[in-house]
Amino acid sequence: MHDFRRLRVWQLSRELAAELGKVVQTFPRSDRGVIANQLRRSALSVPANISEGCGDDSRAETLRFLRMAVRSATETENHLVAAADAGFLRREVSDRFIERTVSIQKMLRALIQNLPK
């Protein structure tokens, strides 16, 4: 396809994953890393799937990986809600991260819709 590093959605998802990686380090030990690990893993999966999809010459494979990136972003959204519910994140902080995550989901869906045939 093309250089994934030029995609704004990849850049934003990479920034989000990096920020969330720092945030989860503040989660209490009582979490035993459960929500923290799931949140870190799902957030890192978004840019990883975008890059993997862009590395394939097959449109079908590119679409498959972009769809996985959408699912990983949705999973990240869920884990942010869970972190707020558990009291690990203030609701307003969680909501700001969720807003960014939903924006990434929308960008990915638009990319999927507009991917050249």
pLDDT per residue, tens digit, the chain (117 aa), is: 578 999 999 999 999 999 999 999 999 999 888 999 999 999 999 999 999 999 888 999 999 999 999 999 999 999 999 999 999 999 999 999 999 999 999 999 999 999 988
- Model pTM greater than 0.85? yes
Q: Is 112 helix (H, G, I), strand (E, B) or coil?
A: helix
The Cα-based distances of 10 to 17, 28, 35, 76, 77 in angstroms read 10, 30, 23, 15, 17
DSSP-derived 3-state class of residue 99? helix
Give me 83's structure tokens.
Answer: 């972190």
